[in-house]
């Protein structure tokens, strides 16, 4: 069979599906809720006159199907997700302004590749510093003193730094959060051992704040309220699992500390 008829700007149905799948992949990997992914992909396809395309999205897979006779489907498996609100905003702008910008298939592909290359402008050191400052700020909000501030900053900085190094090994999210809790526990206990003016509770609670899965839980509630029960339940369960993995890592560090007779 020949190539399907082209739309007004010269793109075929296959090319429209390709760009729509790229949009969905970037959105889901950047932390967008599944309802946003489905809405963006469907809006893009229908704006090009293809109403027989349909999307099914979960936190781990995207299926874009052609419901016409002899139509084909595309599947993308999502194995990891991060948080990049800038990329989400860029893809939303592309979906709304594609025709107004007069973009072609090749221009859109290059535009998305360039946005992905520019998606991490701060670098690992900037992220680690932000984690340390956030941890210290939360500790002060909890009533910590200057000693707690310094110790919490160190906890957040060290934990995020080690996680960035471990990212090269591509660990699962469970082990990432477990290691975060483990490192925060060890650093906080060491700080309190060295400086008796430190408050262990304030340091630990403040240092844990940047690592809590607030966005997955919020997205899960949004999906659940929007009627997407599968994605809503999955994301809420994922957030609970992440929180438990942090707690397990923290408890494990304290247990090791007690076994060593250091407290």
Rounded distance, CA 209 to CA 35, Å?
27
pTM of the model: 0.76
Question: pLDDT by residue (tens digit) across 150-159?
Answer: 999 999 999 8
| Rounded average pLDDT over 217-225 | 83
Q: Binning pLDDT at 50, 70 and 90, where does residue 31 land?
A: confident
Of 180, 192, 202, the closest CA to residue 247 belongs to 180
pLDDT of residue 138: 92
61-66 vs 73-77, strand pairing mode: antiparallel
Q: What percent of the chain has pLDDT over 90?
A: 26
| Rounded average pLDDT over 235-240 | 87
| Rounded average pLDDT over 16-25 | 93
User: Mean pLDDT lowest for which of 129-133, 239-243, 259-263?
Assistant: 259-263
> Using an 8 Å Cβ cutoff, are 57 and 65 in contact?
no
97 burial class (0-12, 13-18, 19+ CB within 10 angstroms)?
A: exposed
Mean pLDDT, the chain, rounded, equals: 85
Q: Hey, how many other C-beta atoms are within 10 angstroms of the C-beta on 118?
A: 11
């Amino acid at each position: 069979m020949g190539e399907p008829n082209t739309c007004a700007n010269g793109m075929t149905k296959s090319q429209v599906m390709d760009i729509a799948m790229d949009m969905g992949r970037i959105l889901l990997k950047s932390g967008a809720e599944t309802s946003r992914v489905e809405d963006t992909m469907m809006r893009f396809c229908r704006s090009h006159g293809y109403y027989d395309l349909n999307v099914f999205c979960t936190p781990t897979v995207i299926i874009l199907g052609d419901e016409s006779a002899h139509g084909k489907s595309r599947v993308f498996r999502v194995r990891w997700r991060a948080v990049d609100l800038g990329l989400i905003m860029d893809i939303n702008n592309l979906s709304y302004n594609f025709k107004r910008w007069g973009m072609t298939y090749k221009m859109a592909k290059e535009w998305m590749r360039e946005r992905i290359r520019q998606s991490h402008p701060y670098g690992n050191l900037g992220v680690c510093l932000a984690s340390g400052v956030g941890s210290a700020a939360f500790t002060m909000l909890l009533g910590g003193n200057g000693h707690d501030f310094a110790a919490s900053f160190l906890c957040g900085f060290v934990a995020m730094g080690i996680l960035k190094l471990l990212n090269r090994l591509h660990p699962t999210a469970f082990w990432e959060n477990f290691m975060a809790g483990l490192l925060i526990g060890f650093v906080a206990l060491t700080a309190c051992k060295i400086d008796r003016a430190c408050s262990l509770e304030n340091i630990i609670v403040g240092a844990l704040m940047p690592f809590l899965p607030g966005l997955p839980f919020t997205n899960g509630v949004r999906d659940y309220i929007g009627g997407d029960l599968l994605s809503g339940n999955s994301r809420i369960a994922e957030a609970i699992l992440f929180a438990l993995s942090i707690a397990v890592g923290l408890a494990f560090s304290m247990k090791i500390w007690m076994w060593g007779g250091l407290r």
